[in-house]
Amino acid sequence: MTNNCKHTLEFETDNNKPSKISKPDNHNMTQKNSAAGIQRYLVAIEYIGTHFSGSQKQLSCRTVVGALEQAFTKFIGQAVIVSCSSRTDAGVHALSNVCHVDIQRTSKRRPGEVLPPHEPSVVRRAVNHFLQKNDSDLTVIDVRCVPLDFHARFSAQERTYFYRLLSGPEPVSAFEKDRAWHVPEELNLSAMREACKVLVGRHDFSSFRAAGCQATSPIRTLDELSVCEVIPSLYFPNTMDRERHNQDLNGCHSNSETVIPPPSSSASIDKGTTSTEDIGFGKRRQHRCLVVTARARSFLYHQVRLLVGVLKVVGTGNLTIPDVERILNAKTITAASPMAPACGLYLGEVKYDLPN
């Protein structure tokens, strides 16, 4: 598949209503649609964004919404419109993105006869059946019935993004291709955490707002921006980890959750990354894996990737904390560092106050 389409309209997330879209009269629409037997479903999906030209539907490219609409159409026998909570660029992944779709269930034997809505579990199984017939990089993970005035985008209260960085000189694993940003240099975790303290909170994020952003204001409240080191994926426990895990299962923790212990220390990861010591034929030296977490009600266009770009340069030592303050206060995109690539970005969660 070719990814030669333009993606300038794709957003990491945007909670601002575009000026061309007017909000409908929800009360009248609810009454009308309820009488017509229409049910709105809130649908959570996961996907690998590598072979999608973003989430929003495009005429000549494979997109998340386009693939989802096709699967729904095959399921119910008529065209539907899928509305997504958060737009993602080409190459960006989602652990959980959310959309909504309105479905009127009609009888195939008696055309025009409206039937009771499908149960959410039926919708999930059926749509996944048609999705898996084509490709396996998009899956419905949850479905719920919601009122017709509940909107996947405008009802969202909070969004969380994760960004994965692999640090170290070793070539990136084939299993990590297009799943993380490989940074050959060592990254200073403590310096990156200090930079997060400058950026978190309510600011004018004009320096972290790409051209083409449709938001009316650059002011955003970043509720969380943090960096932590995690076990590199894919995780297959070594002998020591397996022994510890078995001890937990056989020991005094049988009534509590069993947690697989992390590697003994970050120092051991550093040594494994840079050492020339022979670790045995056919065994790969692991990278350090750092995860940036960004959480807010809404984000500007490319804001998360621009934030990560600055954090990475701080981690390599090419920017200082005063430099980060200068970039933030400059309020111009030209002051920021190069944007992080899409392949390491994951939409992790969209939070709602769901009706009972």
Known catalytic residues are 89
Extended beta strands in the chain, E state: 38-47, 82-84, 93-104, 138-146, 158-167, 181-183, 201-204, 219-230, 288-296, 345-351
Q: Is the dihedral of CA 181, 48, 99, 214 positive or negative?
A: positive
* Residue (of 342, 189, 222, 351) closest to 294 by Cα position: 222
Residue 141's Cβ-count burial label (10 Å; 0-12, 13-18, 19+) is middle
Total number of residues shown for the chain: 356
Strands 219-230, 38-47: parallel, antiparallel or unpaired by DSSP? unpaired
Tokens of 14: 């945007």
Residue with token string 């959309």? 99
Give Cα separations from 248 to 47, 180, 334, 338 (angstroms).
Answer: 34, 32, 52, 45
